Amino acid sequence: MAYAATKRKRGQDRFSDKPASSSDSTIPPRLSRHKVREFHARCRGFLRFRSLVRRNKTTKPTSNLFGYKFDSSKPVHEVIDLVDEDSSIEQAAQVVEDDKVEKEYSSPCRARNDEKGSYLRVPLIRRSPRLKKKRAEVSRELFLPLKEEEDAQVKSAFSVRNRMKVLVLHKNSGIEIRGETLQCLKPCAWLNDDVVINLYLELLKERETRDPQKYFKCHFFNTFFYVKLTRPSYNYKAVRRWTRHKRLGYNLIDCDIIFVPIHGIVHWTLAVINKRECKFMYLDSLNGSDPTILTAVIFVPIHGIVHWTLAVINKRECKFMYLDSLNGSDPTILTAVAKYFVDEVKDKNGKTIDISSWGMEYVKDLPLQQNGYDCGLFMLKYIDFYSRGLGLKFSQTNMPYFRVRTAKEILRLQAD
């Protein structure tokens, strides 16, 4: 009987509202029934919340042979339909890049957040009513991890024994890729090879030809075009024959977007060791950054940084665009590109196009590079995403994956 009474008393003390004795500081304070029930309710709410935001039960990120990590648990931004007759590509792209979609909230399951009665609302991504059941997983398609055999193929192409070997030959353009040429796509390498970039642009054009309903009608100039057009000064006659209808099968005025890679801008920067203020400094007039440049001298002029940027003739939106992964701007580039487009339309179509109402946009809200060697890859992904009609939804952390994926596409002579 004494044991039962003691047990009953302990059970009553367990849920007692009285605070613990101050004489023994190691004993935690007792919780009331209300507090215990609230604690368990919040735990159940958290578990339901986690089940809503989780897209895949496997939360462990997978890594390939080259060290980059692909987290398969990351949610797909949106699933859209690019073959719907009632919706255009720009409408489908708007679903992906519209931030307002992610700001619309619904709360089928609410977890109490505090004693004042506020609730944690669970964000849900709605689907656009404009789009039908046939849907393409655009966001997931852009970040699909490589298969094991594809990883092995790229690793073999990067190996030393294949440096002098011809890996692929593109028959339509006559471009061949050797092992030493492909080295520029290895991690931390500088993508400064015109051959690799020009072949990838050829593959993007072939991708559009295979599935014209899925991509904008684009023209991709190679890396030699702008140099030929502007060196030593603007000369339309030097590139007049590059866009003959017999050669292309279409006129530039029929395209939605025209891409012009810009190469060969030599840029001066400055590295400083400021001993008075005990700090290292890097000064770039284009607002760029490169942690590898700072060295152990007081003033270091940095010369010879060859940078890749992109000019775009956006006929759909009637504007000329300039994209720089270092967030720079150069008015002379867009002026030359605009003048070329007027001369081209007049020469090939016999029309005088009025571009006085066209805008000139130096795109600022775009992914920026955080090092000194990824500018070429950023330029290629700007082209890739824009040709799909999508916003630039990637960042510096995706560059190791894009390097291996680009190498895989080149080795298979097919852009995904």
Q: What does the CA dihedral 373, 378, 380, 385 come to, rounded to 10 degrees?
A: 170
Specify the DSSP class assigned to residue 98. Answer: -
C-alpha pair distances (Å), 326 with each of 194, 218, 221, 301, 333: 20, 25, 22, 18, 16
Hunting for tokens 């944690």 — which residue is that? 120
- Distance between start and end Cα atoms, the chain: 79
DSSP string, 226-261: HHHHHSSS--GGGGGGGG-HHHHSS-GGG-SEEEEE
* Active-site annotation holder among 170, 267, 330, 343: 267
The number of beta carbons lying within 10 Å of the beta carbon of residue 289 is: 15
* Active-site annotation holder among 284, 290, 374, 384: 284
Provide the residue count of the chain: 416
- The backbone torsions φ and ψ at residue 344, rounded to the nearest 5 degrees and listed phi first, read -65, -45
C-alpha pair distances (Å), 236 with each of 231, 257, 332, 352, 358: 11, 20, 15, 16, 21
Q: Where are the alpha helices (H) located in 249-374, listed in sequence order?
A: 331-349
- ∠ at Cα 396 (392, 400), nearest 5°? 110
Establish whether 284 is a catalytic residue. yes
* Active-site annotation holder among 193, 374, 375, 384: 375
Beta bridge partners of 314: 257, 319
- HSE-CB at 200 with a 13 A cutoff on CA atoms is 26
Spatial separation of the C-alpha atoms in residues 357 and 355, rounded to whole Å: 5
Spatial separation of the C-alpha atoms in residues 333 and 226, rounded to whole Å: 9
Write out the catalytic residue numbers: 267, 284, 375
